[in-house]
């Protein structure tokens, strides 16, 4: 039986894919309102996309916001994600700050999962992973390609690399330009999960073409899907109510 990630009674890697929604507000006051709204929704996980936050480059403001968010969310699992511009984020963030703010946030123990980007120096990534695990925080190691879908072999290799670095949840999201690209992503994630990775994975084909990957993860091994409420953080996200209905329908038929 494959490993699972059990965080605040949410089991990732077992049963239906868990639904995550990203907070994308720009100010602390708006983040509090957004967190209060999301706490009442039928979702499993909340992600804070810190790069949308106006003060994301001010570590004291990031930690101040995090304190308020964590108070509101309570037992709802929280992912901390500072997405860099090279991975589709809103801010141009230098490596030194990226590593430092992630480490400082990990040390607060106010988050449940941290997202660390794969394409950094391996030693730096490993240090953050080790620091997270010391503080009982799970780690997503992620990679995003907003322009194309790599080959099946490359997708598998990136997921394996993330896993071998110590990721609790390897993640990849890619942009399809054809229907074949979507099939490539789905089959690559199936192979990676069945043959190489004893852990939950997240595999997403973005945009409208790739929406099937956000719905059918239980079939091909993707354990988390990202939906939208008022705003979306990536192309192709489905509204949460519709997303849950379809996932539940597919689950009941499997």
Question: Is residue 2 within 8 Å of residue 192, measured between CB atoms?
Answer: no
What is residue 239's predicted lDDT score, i.e. its pLDDT? Answer: 86
- Is 49 buried (19+), middle (13-18) or exposed (0-12) by CB count in 10 A? buried
What is residue 233's predicted lDDT score, i.e. its pLDDT? Answer: 57
In this predicted model, what pLDDT tens digit does every residue of 153-206 receive, in sequence order? 999 999 999 999 999 999 999 999 999 999 999 999 999 999 999 999 999 999
Q: Is 83 marked as binding a ligand?
A: yes
What is residue 32's predicted lDDT score, i.e. its pLDDT? Answer: 97
Residue 231 has pLDDT above 70, yes or no: no
Task: Read off the pLDDT band of 229 (50, 70, 90).
Answer: confident
What is residue 221's predicted lDDT score, i.e. its pLDDT? Answer: 95
Q: Is 158 marked as binding a ligand?
A: no
Residue 1 has pLDDT above 70, yes or no: no
Percent of the chain with pLDDT over 70: 97
Q: Is 216 marked as binding a ligand?
A: no
What is residue 237's predicted lDDT score, i.e. its pLDDT? Answer: 77
Give the active site residue among 58, 96, 134, 144: 144
Active site residue 251: no
Task: Read off the pLDDT band of 72 (50, 70, 90).
Answer: very high
Displacement of CA 160 from its chain's centroid (Å):
17
What is residue 254's predicted lDDT score, i.e. its pLDDT? Answer: 80
CA dist., res. 108 & res. 206, Å (int): 32
Average pLDDT, integer, range 4-19: 96
CATH of domain 5-246: 3.20.20.70
Give the active site residue among 63, 91, 126, 171: 171
DSSP string over the chain: ----EEETTEEETSSSPEEEEEE--SSHHHHHHHHHHHHTSS-SEEEEEGGGSTTTT-HHHHHHHHHHHHHHHTTS-EEEE--BGGGT-SB---HHHHHHHHHHHHHHT--SEEEEESSS-HHHHHHHHHHHHHTT-EEEEEEEESS----HHHHHHHHHHHHHHT-SEEEEEE--SSHHHHHHHHHHHHHIIIII--S-BEEEE-TTTTHHHHH-HHHHTB-EEEEESSS-SSTTPEEHHHHHHHHHHHHHT-
Residue 7 has pLDDT above 80, yes or no: yes
Q: Is 22 marked as binding a ligand?
A: yes
pTM over 0.85: yes
Task: Read off the pLDDT band of 142 (50, 70, 90).
Answer: very high
DSSP bridge pairs for 171 = 142, 202
What is residue 235's predicted lDDT score, i.e. its pLDDT? Answer: 59
Task: Read off the pLDDT band of 232 (50, 70, 90).
Answer: low
Q: Is 233 marked as binding a ligand?
A: yes
Close Cβ partners of 47 (under 8 Å, ≥ 6 residues apart): 20, 21, 22, 23, 78, 79, 81, 115, 226, 233
């Amino acid at each position: 039986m494959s490993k699972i990630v059990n965080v605040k009674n949410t089991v990732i890697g077992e049963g239906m894919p868990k639904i995550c929604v990203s907070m994308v507000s720009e100010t602390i006051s708006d983040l509090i309102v957004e967190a209060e709204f999301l706490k009442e929704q039928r979702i499993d996980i909340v992600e804070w996309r810190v790069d949308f936050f106006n003060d994301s480059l001010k570590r004291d403001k990031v930690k101040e916001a995090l304190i308020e968010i964590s108070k509101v969310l309570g037992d709802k699992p929280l992912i901390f994600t500072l997405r860099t511009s090279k991975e589709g984020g809103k801010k141009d963030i230098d490596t030194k700050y990226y590593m430092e703010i992630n480490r400082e946030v990990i040390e607060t123990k106010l988050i449940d999962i941290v997202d660390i980007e794969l394409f950094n120096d391996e030693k730096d990534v490993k240090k953050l992973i080790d620091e997270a695990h010391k503080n009982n925080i799970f780690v997503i190691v992620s990679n995003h390609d907003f322009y194309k879908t790599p080959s099946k072999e490359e997708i598998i290799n990136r997921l394996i690399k993330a896993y071998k670095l110590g990721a609790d949840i390897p993640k990849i999201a890619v942009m399809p330009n054809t229907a074949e690209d979507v099939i490539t992503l789905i089959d690559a994630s199936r192979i990676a999960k069945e043959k190489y990775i004893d852990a939950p994975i997240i595999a997403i084909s973005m945009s409208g073409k790739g929406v099937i990957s956000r719905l059918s993860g239980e079939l091909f091994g993707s354990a988390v899907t990202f939906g939208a409420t008022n705003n979306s953080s990536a192309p192709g996200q489905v509204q949460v109510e519709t997303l849950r209905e379809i996932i539940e329908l597919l689950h009941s038929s499997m």
